[in-house]
Amino acid sequence: MAARIRGSDLLKHRFTEEDLAKVLDLGEIEGVQFVDFFPLGIPAPDGARGVWHTRPEVLLELLDRLVKLERVPVIKVFPKGIPYPEMFEVAFEAGSGRRR
Q: Which of 24-28, 30-34, 77-81 has the highest mean pLDDT?
A: 77-81
Q: What is the pLDDT of residue 6?
A: 65
Confidence of residue 10 (pLDDT cuts 50, 70, 90): low
Q: What is the pLDDT of residue 33?
A: 92
Whether residue 69 contacts residue 22, with contact meaning beta carbons closer than 8 Å, is answered with yes
- 50: how many CB neighbours lie within 10 A of its CB? 20
Q: Of all residues in the chain, what percent carry a pLDDT higher than 90?
A: 35
Residue 1 within a domain: no
- The dihedral formed by the CA atoms of 27, 30, 52 and 42, expressed in degrees to the nearest 10: 30
User: How many residues in total does the chain contain?
Assistant: 100
Residue 73 within a domain: yes
Residue 66 within a domain: yes
Domain extent for 38: 15-48+56-95
Number of H helices, E strands in the chain: 3, 4
**Largest Cα–Cα distance in the chain?**
65
Instruction: Please give the Cα distance from 69 to 72 (Å, whole number).
Output: 6
Residue 86 within a domain: yes
Residue 10 within a domain: no
Query: Into how many domains does the chain fold?
Result: 1
Residue 8 within a domain: no
- Averaged pLDDT for residues 37-60: 86
Instruction: Please give the Cα distance from 100 to 84 (Å, whole number).
Output: 30
- Averaged pLDDT for residues 15-26: 82
Under DSSP, is residue 65 helix (H, G, I), strand (E, B) or coil? helix
Q: What is the pLDDT of residue 52?
A: 95
Residue 9 within a domain: no
Q: What is the pLDDT of residue 61?
A: 94
Instruction: Please give the Cα distance from 33 to 21 (Å, whole number).
Output: 16
pLDDT at 63 over 90: yes
